[in-house]
Every structure is written in C-alpha cells, then in structure tokens.
Amino acid sequence: MFLRRPNFCIKLGISILLIALFVLTDLNAQITPISSHYFRNMVAFNPAFAGQNENLNLIAGYRYQWAQLPGAPQNIYLNGDIYVPQVKGGVGLGIFSQKIGVQSLNKISLNYAFIQPIRNIKLSIGLRGGMIFSKLDGSKLITPNGDYQNGTNHEDPILPNVITNSLRPDLGMGIAIKHENFNFGIAYNNIIDLSDKFKEGDATLLPNYESPLNVYGSLSFGIGKDFEILPSFAINTDFRNIQTEITAMTSWRKIIYFGFSARGYNKNTFESLIPVVGANVWKNISVFYSYDVNMNGLNIANNGSHEVSLGYSMPVKQLYKSPKLINNPRFL
C-alpha cells in the first residue's frame, strides 16, 4: 500500500474544502435546487464544465425531497455534454423539471464552454442560455379570507384563482479549471433576474428568484492500487444566505463507490447527513443512489430525501477515431 504524494493542486483543494466546512456560517434558504449528486452533474450548475473531461457525458436523475411531506419538491433532470474539437470546447444540453406544491417549472438550456489548455491545466469559460416555463395552479391556493364555497376566490389582489403560466429567459456563465486530479469552478446563474409573471385579470403575482453564485471544487487521489479518495464541496449563495455541502467518496477499482455528504454544516445548523452509494454496472454506465437523513426539526414531518441518477460516459476519441480502411482491388 502507498499514498501518492499530494501536489500543489491537492494541497490547495484540501485548503478550500476545510475553509468551506468550518468558516461558512449561514444556511437559511434553498438557493439553488438541491442535488446530492452534484459531483456527478456539475455542468447543470456551471456551463464551463461542458466538455472539460473530453468525454461524451449523459446523466439523468430523479430527486424526491422530504418524502411524504405534502407538496414536497420533486425534480427530474437530464444533462448531456460533449467535447467538440471543431469549436475548441464543449457543448451541452440541459433539461430540468421541478414541482413544488402548486407551482411547477420546466427549463431547457444550451451550454457552450471555450477550453484553453495552459501547460497541465485546462481553463474554460462557459455560457448558458435557455428558457424557463413556469405554471402556478392558483385554484389550489387557500387564503384566510378566501371564499371557496362557490368556486375559488382568494379575496387577494395579487393571487390568481386559476392556472396561470409564465415564460422567462435563463442566462448563466462560469469559469472552471481542471487539473489531472483537481477541479474548481465558479458560476453566476439567473443573470437576467426576471420575475415570473402569473397574471389573471387584475391579479398579478411576481415571485423573484435572485441570482445565485455557485462554487464547486473536487479532488481525487489514490491509496494503493485499488482505492481512490474523492472529496468535493459545493457552495451556493445569493449574497444573503449560503448553502454548503461537503462530500467524501471512496471508490474501489472505479467500480464501487461509497461515501457520505454533510449539508448545511456550521455552528448554527446541520441540515442533513447523506450516505451515497454507486457502481459502474456495465462498461460506461453508472448508477448512484443517496438518502438524505434530516438532522433538523423538519425530520418529524418527512421520511428523508431520495435521489437516484444514471450516468453514461465515453471518451470522445472513440467517436472521432479514423474508420477502418479496406483496399479495393479495382483501384490498386
């Protein structure tokens, strides 16, 4: 057994992990849709990660947050990205669907990342553009002074009484660096920062979602020939509230994966502890599952959170390899 000597990037990454774990002090809101599998799907939060590993990457997942809690969030996501030499970077497509209570949204976005190698580091700058389609079922809302004997009347000047829809643009950008065993990225999402507009007659509801800053970092280093340690972290903030997540994964021969995450750990709160397991089940296909164990007062009202994701990854060089040549005697 041996431990590979950490280089500068590993030391820097460990320092960032410790800072994220012990210095951050607030967790007050779910700023960005939570995913316990963020370390497998960073292109969903930062377009600069598109194509960075020079693979064709596909990932699909489902998250049921706070199971059995009425109106609990349910998310479905599908993301794909690929390195394309002709555009000197990566391109990707993302689809996200979420339902929370009486509101739902569907988002589709395109990603592009320009990738510039600098010695043994890849620097990338990414841009995301898309549209968000939102729906609010106002007929299922209830207000203290509402009249629900003969239909739906909230007696509220801003709440619609029927199903209403909204459409708004989505724009994000980010930067990322990749070393052989170190990744780090910063992204700024919802740059345009427009509100949804749910309108019915004179009633108009304008929910605002802020513009979050997303920070991500990960390391990988081997222990012996069979094991690999894979720590990572994610920080999301709207400059008023902060979400933090720290993850420590271990892999065996890059076949079996297991570990834990801690979300919202600081001196004031500890939102959840998350066991995570995964496996490369066949060739380039992997499956991961996690269960969030609530560690705060919300645990009395739900049965935890479940998330499962299915991933596929294949080196781009296998797609662009030269076709086999067959000699034709007619032209010898």
309: burial class by Cβ within 10 Å (0-12, 13-18, 19+)? buried
- Residue 152 tokens read as 């739906």
Contacts of 253 (CB under 8 A, 6+ apart): 226
Buried residues in 235-248 as b, exposed as e (16+ CB within 10 A):
bbbbeeebbbbbbe
Name which of 33, 74, 35, 31 is nearest 290 in CA terms: 35
In tens digits, what is the pLDDT along the chain, a chain of 332 residues? Answer: 333 444 544 444 444 444 433 333 333 334 578 899 999 999 999 999 999 988 999 999 999 999 988 889 999 999 999 999 999 999 999 999 999 999 999 999 999 999 999 988 999 999 999 999 999 998 888 888 888 888 888 888 888 889 999 999 999 999 999 998 899 999 999 998 888 889 888 778 888 888 899 999 999 999 988 999 999 999 999 888 888 999 999 999 999 999 999 998 555 677 899 999 999 998 899 999 999 998 887 778 888 999 999 999 998 877 766 555 555 555 55
d(CA 271, CA 252): 29
Q: Which domains does the chain have, with CATH numbers?
A: 8-322 (2.40.160.40)
DSSP labels, 67-106: TTSTT--EEEEEEEEEEEGGGTEEEEEEEEEEEETTEEEE
pTM score of the predicted model: 0.84
